Amino acid sequence: MNIANVMERFSLLCGIDISEASKWRSVIEDSEAYINSRLLVDEPTAEQQKRIDMLVAAYAYKTYCLCNENNVTAFKAGEVQLTSSARRGDGAQKLWRKLVSQSGDLISGDEFLFGRVI
C-alpha cells in the first residue's frame, strides 16, 4: 500500500484536510489489514495496487462515516428548519459496495452467508 495515496484519497472522500486525515491513520491501517486479508492476488501490478489503495481509502471512509454519523435529519425551532438530504454514511456504503463489485478480481466478496448449525 502507498500510504500517501491512501491518505490523499481518504481526505478527499471525507472532505477534510490532509492534516486532519492523519489523525485517522490507525483506522486507515486497520482498513489496509482488512483489505489485505481478502486479497486474491499475491503480487498486484501497479494498476491493481492503485485500485487496492482506493479500496483501502473507501473502507476507511466508511468507518470514518460510521464514527461521525449524525443521526439528526431534521431540526425545527420556531420558523427555522434545518434538514439534511442524505446521510454521509449512505454514500460511503454505496461507494464501498460499488468498488467491491468492480474488484472481484482483487478481493473476495463482501456477501453475508447465512447458514445453519447442525
Please state the rounded mean pLDDT for residues 89-111: 85
26 within domain boundaries? yes
Which residue range is the domain that position 14 belongs to?
A: 3-102
- What's the whole-model pTM score? 0.77
Compute the distance between CA of residue 12 and CA of residue 82 in angstroms, rounded to an integer: 26
What count of Cα atoms within 13 Å lies in the side-chain half-sphere of residue 92?
Answer: 22
For CA atoms 3, 57, 22, 28, the dihedral sign is negative
Write the pLDDT tens digit of every residue in 18-56. Answer: 999 999 999 999 999 999 999 999 999 999 999 999 999
114 within domain boundaries? no
- Give the residue from 82, 30, 75, 19 showing the smallest Cα distance to 56: 30
Q: H/E element holding 51?
A: helix 46-67
Write the pLDDT tens digit of every residue in 56-66. Answer: 999 999 999 98
107 within domain boundaries? no
Domain count, the chain: 1
For residue 72, name the pLDDT band (cuts at 50, 70, 90): very low
